[in-house]
Structure 1
């Protein structure tokens, strides 16, 4: 069987399977908690209505006040459920992500890509069992914990990005191909998001979960049998013993060695770029962690189909970001300016959610958020250019670790914040996330000033060098004339 160097099909199938099942978790947990709190079945409604509990369609309510109490309690318990899930899975996912992606520099990228696929399959099977047999929903937390032992989306993407970095030599080509991975994620996740709503309405939760499980099995088979390894092992087999020692050393001292090999200017740039990415993930993931719960409650009260369309519209950011980045790259727009434009769009979009009280406004909110993905391939390409080719896995391991850390911390913080403020100001968490975007914007400004200062220093150094050359050439010229 012929091997392939294309990791994009794996990313596509992984995105489709993931976005087919991940939005279902919030809705499934919400419905199960609704049944437990109200002792009634979850109300059915159509797209034209304002949603469950938004007025006349709520069959179990005796008054608006009673419904508000029920809705707020369901929102609070659902938010706390996801808080517990994030806390239990945070530490294993963080450690496995750093170890696996850094380990890929020695033993190859395929292992880093395959392990999260196994973990995702474990969670899908657990979710299918809970849904089919109507088991306790907290078994999903156990499934998430078991899945996190094999890594998560951060581990998977870190391995894929390192795989692409191995194949691309030119920085511009690397930036475009990394953005292409984001575009593939957007296209397939959009299709999955639209499908999930109709799946739930037509066949319940079991069939979409089963479909996702089949897709993950196909993805795992492709990665195991067809994907070619980019990190080659010596033919003599002598690297096995030394490789283990080297791998352990890289796990514990690799980050220090990576920074130590850089000069002072590159070290500052790398640290600032990492901080930009980390703070952006913290703000954006924090704002997005409670969007589904916000859309399920009053005054929006979206149903499963509207949630599917909302998720699909949100995933078009991958396609738009890729196309816009492609145009801006070939037009020669500076990378820091591209990042700044996207950051302003994210801040504006998160701020608009605070005032979104109708379906139309909520759909319009996603327009500025369509730029949210654009900074990440640019940041990865800039950081990948700073470190040596032999440390790409270590770099992307650090980035994946930082991404997982930011996502888990922000999910815990914003889930608890949403649970505490849902009764009096449910949009406060989105407003706070918008304000946090000022941090990466400020860091981009610092990077721009450092770049200008470095350009001036290089120009002065070039001028001094040219003056020294002239001073050496002119006396010999005069001596030749005299002779």
Structure 2
């Protein structure tokens, strides 16, 4: 059977299924909580607004449901946090010994399990909190952090040139944006026309097809020597190699390399915390007054926001020809900072759509930072590196979701946009770290130039024999 070295189709299909499911979860939880708290059916209107601003009781219900929904999201994230982090760290690092496919196949199994559990809760109207249990079980197989860590390691295995690596990693991010956009723009219409069950059946089928492709058609990118595979047959030896692989990433590296890796990992994790944390409460924000969007508008806006993956890829492609990598990262972070500040004060539908304009380069920092880290470690350390990156990224995004949902729940009554201002403020941290890292690089370049001058002068002044 012919096999392929293309991991992009896996990422594309996985993104479509996940982003078809993601807005459905939030809206399903919101509607169920509305029914339980208000003892009334959820208002189904054909207009873009679901708010009745003339009713103070209705407004009170909106705030109460908003708080309950944000707390539910926080509990779901916290229960799945620890197993997902452990699975990500272990599986992606272990891929250095057993190959990358394990980091792709297991998350697909977990996503399929969660999708089927969600379908059962929706179809049989089971207890809503079973979704938290399903989230915990699926996290045991890893999550999106495991999947992306494995896919980026897969790409790193196949790329020799540094620029090629940057562009292909940016291409993976672009694929995520394109197919998640298709899923998000169709989710609103799908939900309105068929309800929740058929979109869930579609997502489950897509995950199953993707799993079959990964198992039977995707070629392994990392060829493991037979002697190493023989040594890893015992559980104790495999654990020992795994532990030393993660430990040696920093223990055997030079001081300069370790400092650079710590800086880059800190930058990408803090930026991910701010970016993901702000975006995680957008759906709740637009469901609230005065916007009160319908599922159609939510789908359009979510799809429009994913175009940043395409524009960011174009930005990386052209800017990498004329600007240093750190400058490209800074421009992307400035894009997010500006968009979050605007979103905090957006009170109309038009303004919420215009917010996407300053955020067109928001994804640029991620592929550039990953490529920078990948270039400073050896081929045999790519799995250990991306295990750490995926671990820290998953930790930051999960904590961001829990933290920002908690903040939004506490501040929605007096200033719903506070969470976006907080995200913008946190963006200043990685931007400041970029400045420090740039200064350190300039100092090293000056020292190198001084050493070269001294060596040249010494050579010129040396006595002739």
**TM-score (normalizing by structure 2):** 0.97
Q: How does 1:47-446 map to 2 (within 5 A)?
A: 47=47, 49=48, 51-55=49-53, 64-235=55-226, 239-241=230-232, 244-245=235-236, 247-329=238-320, 331-446=321-436
Where 2:357 maps in the other structure, the secondary structure is helix
Shift of 1:420: 1.1
Q: Which deviates the most, 65-74 or 458-467?
A: 458-467
Structure 1 or 2, whichever has the larger Rg, is 1
Question: How far apart are the structure 2 equivalents of 1:237 and 1:297?
Answer: 56
Instruction: Report Cα offsets for 1:329-378 as digits up to 9, x if no partner.
Output: 1x231000001111111111111111000000001112222222110000
Question: How far apart are the structure 1 equivalents of 2:86 and 2:222?
Answer: 22
- Whether the aligned pair in 1 keeps the contact of 2:181 and 2:307 (CA below 8 Å) is yes
Match of 1:481 in 2: none
1:453 counterpart = 2:451: no
- Whether the aligned pair in 2 keeps the contact of 1:166 and 1:389 (CA below 8 Å) is yes
Shift of 1:237: 7.2
- Whether the aligned pair in 2 keeps the contact of 1:54 and 1:298 (CA below 8 Å) is no
- Whether the aligned pair in 1 keeps the contact of 2:155 and 2:165 (CA below 8 Å) is yes
Question: How far apart are the structure 1 equivalents of 2:459 and 2:279?
Answer: 58
Shift of 1:446: 0.5
Closer/same/farther in 2, CA of residues 236 and 401 from structure 1, 3 Å limit:
closer
Match of 2:26 in 1: 26
Where 2:306 maps in the other structure, the secondary structure is helix
- Whether the aligned pair in 1 keeps the contact of 2:407 and 2:419 (CA below 8 Å) is yes
- Whether the aligned pair in 2 keeps the contact of 1:281 and 1:407 (CA below 8 Å) is yes
Question: How far apart are the structure 2 equivalents of 1:243 and 1:369?
Answer: 50
* Structure 2 gap segments, 5+ residues each: none
Shift of 1:41: 1.1
Instruction: Report Cα offsets for 1:43-100 as digits up to 9, x if no partner.
Output: 11224x4x11244xxxxxxx52101110000001001101110111000001000000
Instruction: Report Cα offsets for 1:393-447 as digits up to 9, x if no partner.
Output: 0000000000111011111111111111111111111111110111000000011
Question: How far apart are the structure 1 equivalents of 2:207 and 2:333?
Answer: 33
Q: Which deviates the most, 37-46 or 388-397?
A: 37-46
Instruction: Report Cα offsets for 1:438-470 as digits up to 9, x if no partner.
Output: 100000001110110111111111112222333
Question: How far apart are the structure 1 equivalents of 2:45 and 2:203?
Answer: 26
- Whether the aligned pair in 2 keeps the contact of 1:13 and 1:215 (CA below 8 Å) is yes
Shift of 1:255: 3.6
Question: How far apart are the structure 2 equivalents of 1:401 and 1:250?
Answer: 18
Question: How far apart are the structure 2 equivalents of 1:276 and 1:250?
Answer: 29
Instruction: Report Cα offsets for 1:255-280 as digits up to 9, x if no partner.
Output: 43111222222221111111100100
Question: How far apart are the structure 2 equivalents of 1:288 and 1:236?
Answer: 47
Instruction: Report Cα offsets for 1:115-139 as digits up to 9, x if no partner.
Output: 0000000000011111111111111
Shift of 1:250: 4.5
Question: How far apart are the structure 2 equivalents of 1:42 and 1:219?
Answer: 35
- Whether the aligned pair in 2 keeps the contact of 1:278 and 1:402 (CA below 8 Å) is yes
- Whether the aligned pair in 1 keeps the contact of 2:51 and 2:290 (CA below 8 Å) is no
Where 1:232 maps in the other structure, the secondary structure is coil
Instruction: Report Cα offsets for 1:133-192 as digits up to 9, x if no partner.
Output: 111111111110110000000000000000000000111000000000001111111111
Point out 4+ residue stretches in structure 1 off by more than 6 angstroms.
none
How big is the alpha-carbon RMSD for the aligned residues of Structure 1 and Structure 2? 1.4
- Whether the aligned pair in 2 keeps the contact of 1:37 and 1:74 (CA below 8 Å) is yes
Question: How far apart are the structure 1 equivalents of 2:237 and 2:457?
Answer: 47
Shift of 1:243: 7.4
1:6 counterpart = 2:6: yes
Question: How far apart are the structure 1 equivalents of 2:237 and 2:153?
Answer: 19
**TM-score (normalizing by structure 1):** 0.94
Q: Which deviates the most, 96-105 or 457-466?
A: 457-466
Question: How far apart are the structure 1 equivalents of 2:459 and 2:236?
Answer: 49
